[in-house]
Structure 1
Amino acid sequence: MSTPGPAREGLRLSPFRGLRYVPDRVGSLAAVTSPPYDVVIRPDGLRHLETADPHNIVRLILPQAAGFASRHRKAAETLRHWQAEGVLAADPEPALYVYEQRSGDLLQRGLIGALRLSPPEEGIVLPHEDVMPEIVEDRAALMRETAANLEPLLLTYRGNGKGNGADGGASGGAGGGATAVIERAVQRSPLLSTTTEDGVSHRLWAVTDSADLAEADADLSGHQALIADGHHRWATYLRLRAEHAGPGPWDSGLVLLVDTARYPLRVRAIHRLLHRLPVTDAVAALEGSFRVRKVDGPLPRALDSLAAASEASGAPRTGGNAYLLAGDGGFHLVDRPDPGLLARTVPAGPPEAWRTLDATVLHTTLLEHVWQVPDSPDHILYIHDVAAAVEQAERRGGTAVLMHPVREEVVRELAQQGVTMPRKSTSFGPKPATGLVLRSLELG
């Protein structure tokens, strides 16, 4: 996704002195890592990470204490304590970091660095989802107290996947650019290598050579990026930059940049748990406005029914939205919305691709008008794992609304038009593990 026109500056990714765990001071590197903060949603998941190692990064990204301010102060105190103890130490010189994730046939590589922040009107970094102000405030308070970027955002750009060379050779070396820098780095011994309990192996290399850094910068400056994961943290970066006058470390934020022409991401749905709406009430309210059918389980089979209903509708879709409701021990396929209802409830101004999104119809038609469920944490929990969504709905007596993923090209099309999707519409992955490299703003 190249930036049109020669006058606009693109991505500027700067090296920084990474703050990393000292292997001899922790049980294992795998034991101190965590998924991103918004994926750790279950109390048992939080406890599992906290007990995996006393220095697990979750104690920084999701500190536990009574009160909003106390949590963030506790994280800052913990971070300072770990640095003083030598559990975390800064690398001796600034670097860009090549990060690799591998699992079975999945291979993803990208560059971690400090990305210069740019306002939305510049069109260099494109968001595609709305954000929740209360989450931005929480993340902002945490970053202020810790003066650190604790986990990288996941951003994607579209190179040619082989470096910048016309030959498009498999190694990327002949063409140069960021891809070539990555491919050369992975031929060396990594700074760290670990395999997390999900079976994903992680490796990290430091790029410090001035020629390599210049080559990557020249390439990336010709591109714009899509935020794949981390909209709330990006909004937090922009808020905190506005609070700090003059140039300084707050002008950049920690990101992982992946060329999806070379390493395509997977796009999954994020599901909704409606705490206070039992399935029986949800189904009853749909009478006359959507078709509702019971479908057979177990969960994988029911999800196949959802996929078939979603894919049969085609694209662009007209009234082709489909959802799977769970929480009462069974599964209910919801599809074929009443066109008149959609015409009355979905705003007419945005593009067709936005108006026909499952997330758009869910939020504007189902949640707001049919079920009258406020979009607030007291009423809705956003859950990445489908089995966890069903389990929690059954345990709480609520309704899990299971979604079908959006195609990546639809996300890009809307983002390039400056149109944001409803919050938590997509889950791009694999997401970077949190805890492999941190950025202290006190180090510059």
Structure 2
Amino acid sequence: MAKIAPFRGLRYNVAQIGDPAKVVAPPYDVISPALQQELYRRHPANIVRLILGKINETDSETDNRYTRSAADFAKWQQEQILTRDAEPSIYLYDQEYPIEGGEVVVRKGFVALTRLEDFSSGVVKPHEKTLSGPKTDRFNLTKACGANFSPIFSLYSDPCCVLESVTRKLRDKSPDMEVADDDGVRHRLWQVSDPMVIEKAQDLLDNKPLFIADGHHRYETALNYRNFMREKHPGYSGKELFNYVLMYFANMEDRGMQIFPTHRLVYNVEALNPDSLRDALGEFFEVETRNIDSADQAARQEVRQELREKGKERHCLAMYCGKGDVIYLTLRENAVMDRFFSDKSPKVLRTLDVSILHRLILETLLNISPEAQEKQTNLKYVKNFDEPFELVDCGEFQLAFLMNPTRMNEVRDVANAGEKMPQKSTYFYPKLLSGLVINKIVEGEKVED
């Protein structure tokens, strides 16, 4: 099944850059223009200049965000801002953060290379759809720089937590790098070159499939880059670095593994009448209306708690129409969704909360086509639970749909069935930092397994 390998990680030289918090960044796809600007300001060698360089009006084929990333990448290595580890290693990577109620948990994982596998092999399983635009962007960056700057986030299942036990003493030592991000999450990284530990990790993953949690576009980009490089090197052996990709591995049984919901805001839908929509929803859902003071955070949190409680037993989401009206929508029965899917679609896909929303409500009742959903023509996605209330109340959006998080077993079952969830079905928290360790794809080098 999954084949992993140690690698010579490229890392920031703390003696050169000082505070490592100034050079790391969240994944490129969650960096807003304002945060991009702030990261540029924070340090001249911040990783954002590699993963999400600025676009200039004067950009050309020879001077653009990708060529500038490549130039900075080469310069930082030459100036020893980035230095490459001497020994092939794996890197333990832990994230410590508070959950609701204030309890602090730690998500444990490790970073290594994994052999790229086509999805048809069943070794690596996606669960979300991808778009061509981001894949073209990431492919251009990989071609220009010859590196994986950010690890793909993958999950495996190990109820016995073997690797966590094997590495417990290693984690008791001071980390090679520790940094707090802007959300207060503490990230810790340990380099591990011990052959016994590496072999244990390889043995553990050797008989397991991997589920992509985050980084679907980057994984498909890595496949495209592998195929591109294989055409350039027709005598490839399979051990070349371009046949592998940088990946973070986490145990889905880990208590520190959290999935957060992503809420939907609807806008620019012609002739949308909330009262008529409420009547139409009654055919499929038990409809309960609450009126709250939407400006009161405690009242909003009560909505969140009630939505969570209702979702424990049945499929439930909430619709916010403005003026304090919160409408709980509880699916009458799972069989309702059969009419919106083919007979071949697995039950788990039909009855996901996000499938119920996208297929039944958005597509069927609001006439927002799948293409419009993918292009976000009438949709905006937000993570914060309070934001939808404010944005609907001010008139910027027509409706909000408040969601419970997708469950881990649903992610696994959809992926195992070879199906894809709608966009933004999962939000794995916390996000992995870019800049802790980089995989340089050196032509001529091969993995050591």
When normalised by structure 1's length, the TM-score is 0.83
Q: For residue 154 of structure 2, what is the aligned residue in structure 1?
A: 155
Correspondent of 1:267 among 252, 256, 259: 259
Offset, 1:119: 1.8
Structure 2 residue aligned with 1:289: 280
Residue of structure 2 aligned with 1:76, choices 47, 64, 70: 70
Q: 1:311 to 1:434 in 2, by over 3 A?
A: same
Return the alpha-carbon distance in structure 2 between the equivalents of residues 68 and 323 of structure 1.
47
C-alpha change, 1:382 and 1:62, in structure 2 (3 Å) is farther
From the superposition, tell whether residues 329 and 99 of structure 1 become closer, same or farther in structure 2 (CA, over 3 Å): farther
Q: Residue 438 of structure 2 aligns to which amino acid in structure 1?
A: L
Runs of at least 4 residues off by over 4 Å: 328-331, 336-344, 387-396
Q: Does 1:411 align with 2:411?
A: yes
Q: Deviations over 1:131-175 (max 9, x none)?
A: 222222222222222211111111111113442xxxxxxxxxxxx
Rounded to whole Å, the distance in 2 between the matches of 1:49 and 1:90 is 23
Gaps of 5+ in 1: 1-9, 164-177
Q: Match for 2:68: what amino acid?
A: K
8 Å Cα contact 1:19-1:89 kept in structure 2? yes
C-alpha distance in 1 between matches for 2:75 and 2:442:
15
* Residue 195 (structure 1) shift: 2.2
Structure 2's unaligned 5+ residue stretches are: 99-103, 231-235, 282-286
1:240 paired residue number: 225
Identify which of 303, 306, 309 aligns with 1:308: 306
What pairs up with 1:274-423 in 2 under 5 angstroms?
Answer: 274=266, 276-277=268-269, 281=272, 283=274, 286-290=277-281, 291=287, 293=289, 295-296=291-292, 297=294, 298-299=296-297, 301-302=299-300, 304-309=302-307, 311-312=309-310, 315=313, 317=314, 320-325=315-320, 330=324, 332-336=326-330, 344-373=339-368, 374-375=372-373, 376-387=375-386, 397-398=396-397, 399-423=399-423
Q: How does 1:97-108 map to 2 (within 5 A)?
A: 97-104=91-98, 105-108=104-107
Q: Residues 49-104 of structure 1: CA distance to partner in whole angstroms, max 9, x if unpaired?
A: 33222322222222211469733333222222322332222122221001121235
How far apart, in 1, do the equivalents of 2:177 and 2:304 lie?
41
Matched residue SS, 1:38: helix
RMSD of aligned residue pairs (Cα, Å): 3.0
Residue 262 of structure 2 contacts residue 426 of structure 2 at CA under 8 Å; is this kept in 1? yes
Does structure 1 retain, via aligned residues, the 8 Å contact 2:337–2:351? no
Greater displacement, 242-251 / 385-394: 385-394
2:8 aligns with one of 17, 29, 39: 17
Tell me by how many angstroms 1:116 deviates.
0.9
User: Structure 1 residues 396 and 22 mapped into 2: Cα distance closer, same or farther (>3 Å)?
Assistant: farther
How many angstroms apart in 2 are the aligned matches of 1:47 and 1:426?
A: 27
Q: Which secondary structure state, in structure 1, belongs to the residue aligned with residue 172 of structure 2?
A: coil
Q: Deviation at 1:331? A: 5.5
Establish whether residue 255 from structure 1 lines up as the match of residue 232 from structure 2. Answer: no
Contact 1:295 1:302 in 2 (8 A): no
Partner of 1:225: 210
Aligned residues: 415
Where does residue 202 of structure 1 map in the other structure? 187
If the length of structure 2 is used for normalisation, what is the TM-score? 0.82
- 2:49 aligns with 59
Q: Which residue of 1 aligns with 2:437?
A: 437
Corresponding letter in the other structure for 1:415: A
